[in-house]
Chain A
Amino acid sequence: MSDNKKKILEMLAQNKISADDAYRLLSAIDGGEGRRESGNKAGTAVKDKAKYLRVTVVPGADSERSGNCDRVNIRVPMSLIRAGIKFTSLIPSDARDKVNLALHEKGIDFDERNMKPEDIEELIGALSDLEVDVVSKNGESVRVFVE
Chain B
Amino acid sequence: MHELSLVEAMMSSVAESAAENNITRVVRIKIVVGKLNLAQPELLRFAFNALQAGTIFEGATLEIEERPLVMRCRKCGNTCAPEYPAYFCSLCGGRVEVVTGQELYIEHYEGETGGDGDKDGAKGSDGPAAPEG
Partners in one complex: no
By a beta-carbon cutoff of 8 Å, the part of chain A in contact with chain B is: none
By a beta-carbon cutoff of 8 Å, the part of chain B in contact with chain A is: none
